[in-house]
Amino acid sequence: MKKIILFVAMGVMAQAYADDIQVQMVGNIFANTCVIDSASKNLTVDLGQAASSNFKDVGDTGEWKDFSLSVSHCPKTLTLATAFFYGQADSVHPTKFANVGSAKGLALELADRQDKILIAPQASFSALINPSDHTATFPLAARYYATSMPVSAGTFSSLVQVTFTYQ
């Protein structure tokens, strides 16, 4: 046996009112930007092995390891690229990047490779965009930095995030 359910709706006539409203649409139009080279994306810089006994005093360092970040295909109207460096600052030496690995007493020291000007967390570094090939390169170097004694053996890992802006 099939059941049929019937709904009956009854409407009440009422007077309708209307209001006018305005909806504003906003946005931003950005110029084309440079392309971050694939070798610079998700880059791992291997600082190599070091013995904890190599770090006898606070401020002792490992060897510099050179690396670069590059952008290319920059629009002809751009002349300057700036890299902003973000990461967890070391709790003892806030101008260094924290080690989140198991080794104790070490932090990451980051610098402009050409001048060895140190780059702290929340700092920036600018490079001119080459007008002939529309590229910019950020030559960098990184090394271990002893922040406290004793330095203990273990893993070393430090994450540095980089954001690029262009002018």
Query: Strand ranges (DSSP E) for the chain?
Result: 35-36, 65-72, 80-86, 97-98, 106-112, 118-119, 123-128, 136-146, 161-166
Query: Residue 80 in contact with residue 126, Cβ under 8 Å?
Result: yes
Question: CA-CA distance, 131 to 123, in Å (whole number)?
Answer: 26
Q: Are 160 and 67 spatial neighbours (Cβ–Cβ below 8 Å)?
A: no
Q: What is the per-residue pLDDT for 34? A: 95
Q: What pLDDT is stored for residue 21 in this prediction?
A: 81
Q: What percent of the chain has pLDDT over 70?
A: 89
Q: What percent of the chain has pLDDT over 90?
A: 78
For residues 92-97, give the mean pLDDT: 97
pLDDT the model gives residue 19: 80
In this prediction, residue 2 carries a pLDDT of 44
Whether the Cβ atoms of residue 42 and residue 85 lie closer than 8 Å to each other:
no
Q: What is the pLDDT of residue 4?
A: 47
Q: What is the pLDDT of residues 49-91, one digit of tens each?
A: 999 999 999 999 999 999 999 999 999 999 999 999 999 999 9
Q: Which pLDDT does position 15 carry in this prediction?
A: 64
Please give the pLDDT value at position 29: 72
Q: How far is CA 29 from CA 25, 91, 105, in A?
A: 13, 40, 47
Q: pLDDT tens for residues 25-54?
A: 888 776 678 999 999 999 999 999 999 999
Query: How far, in Å, CA of 4 to CA of 135, rounded?
Result: 74
Residues 114, 140 contacting (CB under 8 angstroms): no
d(CA 64, CA 129): 26
Across 100-125, average pLDDT: 96
